[in-house]
Amino acid sequence: MKTLVDISAGAIQEVQKIYHLRTKKAAIEFALNEVIRMKKLRDLAELSGTFKDSEIMSQAELKKMRKRDTSRVFGIH
């Protein structure tokens, strides 16, 4: 998608330099993806410690579930 945006040349150049990116487009895409990744990590960190022991599968339950999972046998994904 083409978009015209006025962005600080210094910011783009710094991202290019730090992460060894050759183009402005690569720098912008990298920065956007990094912002998304960091948000997902923060959201995941907020869940830390919020599960009750009863919500977590035991090793035995996990093994039973894996035995019932036929998608791996038939290559279905």
Residue 76 lies in a domain: no
Asked if residue 21 belongs to a domain, the reply is: yes
Residue-range definition of the domain harbouring residue 59: 9-71
Q: What pLDDT is recorded for position 46?
A: 84
- Tell me whether residue 15 is in a domain: yes
pTM reported for the whole predicted model: 0.60
Asked if residue 60 belongs to a domain, the reply is yes
Note the pLDDT tens digit of each residue in 29-68: 999 999 999 999 999 888 877 767 677 778 888 888 888 8
Contacts of 76 (CB under 8 A, 6+ apart): 70
CA atoms of 63 and 57, how far apart (whole Å): 10
Provide DSSP, 13-52. HHHHHHHT--SHHHHHHHHHHHHHHHHHHHHHHHHTT---
32, 23 contact by CB (below 8 A): no
What total of structural domains would you count in the chain?
1
pLDDT band at 76 (very low <50, low <70, confident <90, very high): low
In a domain, 77, yes or no: no
